[in-house]
Amino acid sequence: MAQAIPAGQKWWSGGKSPFNVEYGKLMMWYFLMSDAFTFGAFLISYGSIRFATNGWPDPNEVFKAFPFVPESIHLPLVFVSLMTFILIMSSVTMVLAVAAGHRNDQKGVTKWMIPTIIGGLAFLSCQAWEWTHLHGEGAWWGLNPFLNADGTKATTNFTNFFFTITGFHGFHVFSGVIINIIMLIKNLRGDFAKRGHYLMIEKAGLYWHFVDLVWVFVFTCFYLL
């Protein structure tokens, strides 16, 4: 809001973008809106099925393992907190890359894009480990070895939704890492420096933060509630 905009500016009288952003950035916002509705549809259908079911597994009983820790030690929420921390950190380094782009600082963009990509890869590795671990316990699409919190038999909706939604989110993280790698290569080639602006970094940044935003909701819906 602290922009140097004259008071009483008429945005809709023509001759300027009524949103005061570049076309591609606006379209990225609209794409993210549609993507939010896709994720929203997934999470809301998960919620309505959960509300329509008599029993449901306790997430603290299901997600309690940590790499290199014996199975007998139960650490609910610890691993997923680590994943959340990795994704938030990687979002921070992405904003710092965008900030460097604003200053036309090519080296700064490179410096902050590299940890962002590493963070994305670390998150994907964590998810790969978690999926492998759950699969080893007999959980998969259509297979649910976990009982409801009250000891009754659970439906496979639990695992179906878990793998579909975290998988869809993981695929977004994967695409985000690919986009970030392309941005890093373009930056190293000096494409943005030649162009005179780093709007592409901003658009990649918007996508990357959106992935973090979705994770906030996935984290709450699957691990906390």
Could you tell me the smallest distance in angstroms from the CB atom of residue 181 to other proteins?
20
CB 206 within 8 A of CB 32: yes
For other proteins, the binding residue among 62, 79, 84, 162 (CB under 8 A) is 84
Give the angle 189-208-183 at the CA atoms, nearest 5°.
Answer: 5
> Toward other proteins, which CB reaches closer, 91 or 180?
91
Residues paired with 186 in a beta bridge: none
Amino acid residing at 95? V
Stretch that binds other proteins, among 74-82, 123-131, 167-175, 179-187 (CB under 8 A): 74-82
CB 122 within 8 A of CB 173: no
Stretch that binds other proteins, among 98-106, 120-128, 165-173, 175-183 (CB under 8 A): 98-106
Q: Which helix (H) or strand (E) holds 222?
A: none
- Binders of other proteins among residues 7 to 66 (CB under 8 A) are 11, 17-24, 26, 29, 33, 36-37, 40, 44-45, 47-55, 60
> Toward other proteins, which CB reaches closer, 103 or 135?
103
- Using CA atoms, how far apart are residues 212 and 218, in angstroms rounded to an integer? 10
Q: Is 96 in the site for other proteins (CB under 8 A)?
A: yes
Could you tell me the smallest distance in angstroms from the CB atom of residue 98 to other proteins?
6
For other proteins, the binding residue among 121, 122, 147, 181 (CB under 8 A) is 147
> Toward other proteins, which CB reaches closer, 53 or 125?
53
* C-alpha closest to that of 101 among 206, 214, 18: 206
101 burial level (CB within 10 Å; 0-12, 13-18, 19+): buried
